[in-house]
């Protein structure tokens, strides 16, 4: 069979790569192309366009880059038409992928959506597009299946793919002491580590990284390490780090960093859940351009922005959003999750419940591959 994948972010590249590996276990003759990244390429898909060229965030940022985005739609349609896949597999990235779902279905391709758009949070009417143009929706959050049922649409809950990604890393490291030592992030001192995960898009870095860096001056007994996004060049970080020579950086070592961290400051998104699965106390940071934020706030229909709090349906971790994300507030919250033993204990207990609830359905990538395989059977 011929498979075409579209992933527009680093997390989609990760989950897409694991899905590709599972599909290839049962379809030895699989031919795969994608819009994605290095991980999907390493798993066996030829990359037509890298996701680093696709990351536009927020309403104003999208409007400013509308000509580039329209060119991307045209090119993607051409790539798919030339490849003639048996199925188009869309991975998250809803602004782009919901449009591609409509076009692909109109061209009579089978369409699978892996990792649902957050239609339960905002733009709920997009479910109508999904019902009309997506053959199978594969969800990864426990409450999403019930949400779709309200709309008379049968989605498949496959479990969360981060469970297997984190477990795979942890088992590999724990099972190989030499690898664990060689892969360990080396620091100039034995001071405990605080991880800074400022996001993968330029806009995220612009709004949040300066605040995170300013906080480091208040914690001289800790080593701060930034996890660089695979899609961003070193020069982008260098301009922020000129005043902070003691702040370290790593690239492609986020899991190593989290496995060594005592605490973390994390941009909302997949990273909040990854941090929780490693058991690291965290503060969630979110800040966008004011116009984009006001529009999103007006449209949003959720109590929380972090996956940890959304899944648990309670404030497990503190969310510092927009005007609340200040150096003073972040310093206070970081100090609490470093020193308040009662709070740390409760957060880690909640993390355990979270992990258990997401682990009940087994290997998400394998289940997703199985559903796709059944869809393609004559």
Q: Residue 144: its pLDDT value, please?
A: 93
First vs last Cα of the chain: how many Å apart?
12
Asked if residue 102 lies in contact with residue 128, where contact means CB atoms within 8 angstroms, the answer is: no
Q: Where does 155-200 have alpha helices with state H? A: 161-174, 177-183
State residue 305's pLDDT score.
87
**Token pair belonging to 196:** 């800074």
Q: Mind listing the domains of the chain with CATH numbers?
A: 2-159+362-376 (3.40.50.2000), 164-359 (3.40.50.2000)
Question: Which tokens hold the place of 179?
Answer: 């690898």
Provide the whole-model pTM: 0.83
Output the pLDDT for position 345: 98
Quickly state the pLDDT bin for 173 (edges 50, 70, 90).
confident
Beta strands in the chain (DSSP E): 2-7, 31-36, 46-50, 87-91, 110-114, 136-139, 156-157, 193-197, 223-228, 248-251, 261-267, 282-286, 318-321
Residue 296 pLDDT exceeds 70? no
Q: Distances in Å between the alpha carbon of 157 and those of 164, 179, 262, 294, 360?
A: 15, 34, 33, 32, 11
Tens digits of residue pLDDT in 265-274? 999 788 999 9
- CA 41 distance to own-chain centroid: 18
Query: What's the chain's Rg over C-alpha atoms?
Result: 21
Q: Which residues contact 273 (CB under 8 A, 6 or more apart)?
A: 160, 162, 306, 307, 308, 311
The DSSP element (H or E) to which 101 belongs, if any, is: helix 94-106
| 302 pLDDT above the threshold of 50 | yes
- pLDDT 10s digits, 27-36: 999 999 999 9
- Binning pLDDT at 50, 70 and 90, where does residue 121 land? confident
Please state the length of the chain.
Answer: 378
CA 209, chain centre distance (Å)? 18
Instruction: Give the pLDDT confidence score for residue 63 in this predicted structure.
Output: 53
């Amino acid at each position: 069979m011929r498979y075409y994948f579209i992933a527009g972010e680093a997390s989609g590249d990760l989950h897409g790569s694991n899905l590709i590996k599972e599909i290839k276990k049962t379809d030895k003759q699989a031919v795969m192309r994608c819009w994605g990244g290095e991980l999907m390429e390493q798993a066996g898909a030829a990359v037509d366009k890298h996701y680093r060229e696709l990351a536009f965030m927020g309403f104003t940022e999208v409007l400013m880059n509308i000509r580039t985005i329209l060119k991307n739609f045209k090119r993607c349609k051409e790539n798919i038409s030339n490849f003639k896949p048996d199925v188009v597999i869309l991975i998250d990235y809803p602004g782009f992928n919901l449009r591609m779902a409509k076009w692909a279905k109109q061209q009579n391709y089978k369409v699978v959506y892996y990792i649902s758009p957050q239609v339960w949070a905002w733009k709920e009417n997009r479910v109508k597009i999904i019902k009309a143009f997506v053959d199978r929706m594969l969800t990864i959050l426990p409450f999403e299946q019930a949400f779709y049922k309200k709309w008379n649409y049968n989605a498949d809950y496959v479990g969360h793919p981060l469970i297997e990604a984190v477990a795979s890393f942890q088992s590999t490291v724990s099972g190989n002491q030499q690898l664990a030592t060689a892969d360990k992030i080396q620091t100039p001192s034995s001071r405990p580590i605080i991880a800074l995960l400022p996001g993968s898009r330029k806009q995220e870095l612009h709004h949040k990284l300066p605040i995170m860096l300013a906080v480091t001056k208040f914690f001289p007994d800790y080593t701060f390490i930034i996890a660089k996004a695979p899609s961003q060049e070193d020069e982008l970080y260098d301009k922020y780090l000129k005043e902070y020579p003691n702040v370290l950086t790593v690239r492609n070592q986020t899991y190593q960093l989290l496995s060594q961290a005592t605490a973390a400051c994390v941009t909302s998104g997949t990273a909040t859940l990854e941090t929780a699965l490693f058991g690291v106390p965290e503060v969630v940071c979110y800040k966008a351009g004011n116009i984009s934020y006001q529009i999103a706030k007006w449209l949003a229909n959720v109590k929380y922005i972090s996956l940890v709090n959304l899944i648990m349906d309670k404030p497990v971790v503190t969310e510092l959003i927009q005007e609340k994300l200040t150096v003073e507030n972040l310093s206070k919250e970081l100090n609490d999750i470093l020193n308040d033993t009662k709070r740390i204990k409760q957060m880690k207990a909640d993390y355990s419940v979270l992990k258990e609830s997401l682990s009940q359905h087994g290997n998400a990538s394998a289940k997703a591959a199985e559903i796709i395989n059944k869809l393609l059977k004559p």
